Amino acid sequence: MIVVTGGAGFIGGNLVRALNQRGVDEILLVDSAAAIESRDLHGCRYAECMDEEEFIATGLNGRLASRFTAVLHHGACTDTLCTDADYLRANILEYSQRIFSVCQERRIPLVYASSASVYGAGSEFREQQSCEQPLNGYASYKLAFDEFVRSHLTALRAPVVGLRYFNVYGSDERHKGRMASMVHQLQKAFAAEGQVRLFAGSDGVGDGEQARDFVTVEDVVKVNLFFLDDPRHSGIYNVGTGAAASFNAVAQQVINTMRAARGETSLDLATMRKTGILTYFEMPASIQGRYQPYTRADIRRLRDAGYRTNFAPVRRGVADYVRRLVNEAPVAEIVEIDEKLVSGLL
């Protein structure tokens, strides 16, 4: 039985569906009771479903745990803006440590979700301590568990792989609301209002020229399955395309894909600015000094581990995703947009 924690969530749900496509149905789906009740899990096949609290209290013990063949751990706090240290410690660090301990005791391979947020405002994004400088509590606890794993690498009884996700976007993230990807937020904003807003320039960066490494959830799933299939590897690996795209470039791709769906011609960036389709606003004071202006995954370790599949470039990945959103979500379903998240805050 493969355990997928966060199985009712964005990446977790996509993992369950990918396993199903392989013919794997013997899955224990773990998530919060609220997520399981509120999410539409139609199309997901799994043997059992368990609330996180029950999983911690009883699922990690006894006969059920003896059936686990692998754990894909994607269940924890997903709110990068959370400031509750006790909650972050319990849900990111202690929960993960408990799963790690059981996996080691029972020799069960573990793949877990880390985060590129651990790199902070640095300019190098290698899986090394010299590059790690988290800017908030969420990132600090993600790094704390990575450090915990590192301290055990020389004495592992079963493989452990931490995946540092960069900016993930793609199918089935609608439920995330204000924490949905920048691509999703921009598509909703343009559909509802006919314009989008990005951060104005700051700290030597021009308007909308903040840049991130945007990676599709489909590529993230492929990396998970690669390590699930090849248990020889342990350690921490970046998961991104290895390229950075500016917010301006992403917004332009979203807008022009939407325009093409309406039979309208593409516009260049200067025209979008001149006509007010693309505007800018000052970064909120609450996140100044805690915001990553640039990320770009160094994926050499991932390639050295043998992962050879090409990542979808932003131009193609964003266009494909926006076309799916256009087909899935009529304008009547558009909800209020959180302007901070429209700017790609993670």
Rounded to 5, what percent of the chain is helix, strand, coil? 45, 15, 40
Pairwise CA distance, residues 265 & 225, whole Å: 39
Residue 170 burial class via C-beta count within 10 angstroms: exposed 0-12, middle 13-18, buried 19 and up = buried
Pairwise CA distance, residues 170 & 182, whole Å: 10
Q: Which of 138, 169, 237, 280 is catalytic?
A: 138
Q: Give me Rg for the CA atoms of the chain.
A: 20
Pairwise CA distance, residues 299 & 345, whole Å: 22
Q: What six digits make up the tokens of 121?
A: 């405002």
Q: Crossing angle for the helix pair 314-328 and 182-193, nearest 10 degrees?
A: 50
CB neighbourhood size of 23 (10 A): 8
Q: Is 188 among the residues known to form the active site?
A: no
Q: Which of 87, 176, 222, 294 is catalytic?
A: 176
Q: Is 176 among the residues known to form the active site?
A: yes
Pairwise CA distance, residues 299 & 139, whole Å: 20
Pairwise CA distance, residues 183 & 181, whole Å: 5
Please give the positions annotated as active site.
Answer: 138, 176
